[in-house]
């Protein structure tokens, strides 16, 4: 069923915590992104830290592709939560690329 993709029946108490942690991780960056948006600037170290947090999602995606083609495994919870988190980072990475890589004079976000 479609609902089982978003919130499957946990088989035990630890599964319920894992499901919660997957969804929590996907939105945990929102306060930091909100503060960047609100203030318009931040320290260079913070910007690079956020970029590295978002960059590790690339390796998650590589792992999903590898496991799909090698094992045939599909972990819908991780895919949905990871996609949400990656989409939240897109605006940040656009500005990060313009400021850091292209050396444009503007503030991050």
For 21-72, what is each residue's pLDDT tens digit?
A: 888 988 888 888 888 778 766 677 777 888 888 788 888 888 888 989 999 8
Confidence of residue 1 (pLDDT cuts 50, 70, 90): very low
For 80-97, what is each residue's pLDDT tens digit?
A: 888 888 888 887 888 778
Query: Which 8-state DSSP code applies to residue 97?
Result: I
pLDDT of res. 7: 57
The 3-class SS string of 25-90 reads: HHHCCHHHHHHHHHHCCCCHHHHHHHHHHHHHHHHHHHHHHHHHHHCCCCCHHHHHHHHHHHHHHH
Confidence of residue 2 (pLDDT cuts 50, 70, 90): very low
pLDDT of res. 70: 92
């Amino acid at each position: 069923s479609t609902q089982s993709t978003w919130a499957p029946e946990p088989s035990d108490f630890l599964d319920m915590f894992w499901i919660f942690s997957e969804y929590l991780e996907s939105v945990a960056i929102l306060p930091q992104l909100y503060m960047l948006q609100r203030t318009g600037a931040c320290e260079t170290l913070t910007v690079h830290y956020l970029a590295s947090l978002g960059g590790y999602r690339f390796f998650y995606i590589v792992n999903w592709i590898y496991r799909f083609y090698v094992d045939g495994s599909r972990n819908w919870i991780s895919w949905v939560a990871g996609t949400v988190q990656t989409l939240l980072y897109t605006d940040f990475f656009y500005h990060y690329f313009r400021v850091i890589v292209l050396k444009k004079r503007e503030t991050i976000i």
